[in-house]
Amino acid sequence: MPIRAPVKDTYRKKSPFTGLLEHMNKVKEGIILLREGVLHYIDGDYEGFHKLAEKLDIIEHEADLIKGNIRAHLPSSVLMSVDKRYFLWVLREEDAILDHAENLAHMLDMRPTKIPIRLKEDFKAHMGLVAETVEEMEKAVENIKHLIETVFSGKERNETKAYIKNVHQKEWEADQKGYEITEKIYKMENNLSPMDEYHLLKMVDWIDDIADHAENVADWLRAIIAR
């Protein structure tokens, strides 16, 4: 091992992509929490959900700080290897995932709605598909370091394209599940209180939104690697 002087670390500027990956790790953590929390909620454990929702708040805040830091260190004088606008859109959409997760958590936390037994499994499956969409997006974003290393060519480019394709697939599946649940809710409308029905429909919508934003991240990534 060569001897390394410690001063070197004090001046090495962090790259915006490192920041992006840090931010993404927060998204990852947040969605794992949200998924766990929503499963608690569906099973009626509102106390357990509340605890996880509070943790999610903290993560969302940390992610905001990272995002602000990346933006603050990207003045117009920085020449990037990718289109800076596209990069900022990736960041914005990635951040929107956590924003929506937080909003959803707050909304659920305000009203402990009983999920009808017939919908429980569907809701769990829907949440699972949305989380998987985000996971596929995470893989695509994680590959960006390899993309930069290989100058956006070769096999890493194809790999990223494959991940992006998976994101679209999962998002589509999540959509289908969402429509299915919505249809079931409408069919049950005579047995539900109007507020319960409103809340359930909103829950489907807002969970689905998260997958939409994950898809947007993938789309902007696709724009970045387009020749």
Partner 1 sequence: MLTVILIAIAIFAALYMAWNIGANDVANSMATAVGAKALSLRQALIIASILNVCGAVLVGKHVTATIQGSIVDTALLTDHSLVLGFLSALLAAGIFVTFATWKELPVSTTHGVIGGIIGFGLIEGGIDLVKWGSVGTVAASWMLSPVAGAVIAFVTFKIIAYLVFGTKDPLNSAKKIGPVFIALTLFIILMSIFSKTNVGEMLGYTTSEYVLFTTVISLIIGIIGFFIFKNILGEGYDVVESLFRRLQVMTSCYIAFSQGANDVANAIAPVSVVLLLTWGKIDTAYLLLLGGIGISIGITTWGYKVIRTVGGKITVLTNTRGFSIDFGAATVVLIASKLGLPISTSHTVVGAVIGVGLARGLEAVDLSVVKRIVYSWALTLPVTILLAIVIYKALQIIF
| Interface ranges with partner 1 (CB under 8 A) | 2-5, 7-8, 11-13, 15-17, 74-75, 77-82, 146, 148-155
Q: For the chain, what's the residue count? A: 227
Query: Are 144 and 17 within 8 A, CB to CB?
Result: yes
Q: Supply the minimum distance, in Å, between the C-beta of residue 95 and partner 1.
A: 19
Best CA proximity match to 203, nearest among 214, 195, 215, 213: 195
Q: Supply the minimum distance, in Å, between the C-beta of residue 222 and partner 1.
A: 17
Specify whether the backbone of 5 is left (phi greater than 0), alpha (psi in -120 to 50) or beta: beta
Neighbours of 89 (CB within 10 A): 18
Q: Detail the DSSP E strand segments found in 139-193.
A: none
Q: Supply the minimum distance, in Å, between the C-beta of residue 226 and partner 1.
A: 13
CA distance 2 to 163: 38
What backbone torsions phi and psi does residue 75 show, to the nearest 5 degrees? -70, 170
Q: Supply the minimum distance, in Å, between the C-beta of residue 219 and partner 1.
A: 20
Residue placing its CB nearer to partner 1 in the complex, 78 or 110: 78
Query: Are 125 and 177 within 8 A, CB to CB?
Result: yes
Residue placing its CB nearer to partner 1 in the complex, 72 or 110: 72
- Provide the CA 148 distance to its chain's centre, in angstroms: 22
Residue placing its CB nearer to partner 1 in the complex, 156 or 209: 156
Residue placing its CB nearer to partner 1 in the complex, 107 or 148: 148
Q: Supply the minimum distance, in Å, between the C-beta of residue 179 and partner 1.
A: 41
Residue placing its CB nearer to partner 1 in the complex, 22 or 45: 22
